[in-house]
Amino acid sequence: MLETIIYSNMSNAIIYRDDDPNVYTCLHEFKKVNQWFKDRKLNHTVAVVMEDLWENHGLFYYLATEPNIIVELHGWEHKDYSILSYDECFNDLKKSKEYWETNCKRMTGIDKKITTYFAPWNREGDNIKKACEDLGLRFCATKDGVWEDNKIISFHWWSFNGL
């Protein structure tokens, strides 16, 4: 955990945002992507689709324990939260946050918190923004560009070939 904090402070000018890791993600492929970041001593921010993620035990464990990986949220499912009701947004995000944090703690003893919601297709809506605010999550719908004093660089693990 200490390493995570140090890396975060060192590289908070750029967020390397990797969207879509999910229960079907191949751990072997994903490790190769993360190795690219480890080799450069960079953080790797993953916006995960949370539904049933723990069922992919190897991936879940890797996400929880790799010091350079920052786990954030892309939704319970990959869907357009910008058109959903407040209750739907709130319930999905709350469920996702609790699912990650409970399973992470139980499996590894590590308390890796989710702090940010990265919107699928970067779609914004009042309900999803309010749900984030009420859950203490930061809302990000920036694909590439400046967001909260950070520069976001987006990619997908499944088509990653270096940056």
Residues that bind Zn ion (CB under 5 A): 19-20, 120
Beta-carbon count within 10 A of 45 CB? 26
Contact indicator for 72, 115 with CB cutoff of 8 Å: yes
Contact (CB, 8 A) for 33 and 157: yes
The single-letter code of the amino acid at 11 is S
Cβ proximity to Zn ion: between 7 and 59 the closer is 59
CB of 155 to Zn ion, least distance (A): 11
* DSSP codes of every residue in 26-42: -HHHHHHHHHHHHHTT-
Q: How far is the CB of 159 from Zn ion (least distance, A)?
A: 12
> In 3-state terms, what secondary structure has residue 86?
helix
- Cβ proximity to Zn ion: between 20 and 72 the closer is 20
| Residue with Cβ nearer Zn ion (7 or 120) | 120
Nearest distance from residue 106's CB to Zn ion, in Å? 27
**Residue 120 or 125 with smaller CB distance to Zn ion:** 120
In the complex, the smallest distance separating the C-beta of residue 9 from Zn ion, rounded to whole angstroms, is 27
Residue number closest to Zn ion, CB atom: 19
Minimum CB distance to Zn ion, residue 121 (Å):
7
* C-alpha to C-alpha distance for 59 and 63, rounded to whole angstroms: 6
CA dihedral angle for residue 26, residue 30, residue 161, residue 73, rounded to 10 degrees: 100
What whole-number distance in Å separates Cα of residue 110 and Cα of residue 71?
12
Please say which residue, 19 or 92, places its beta carbon nearer to Zn ion: 19
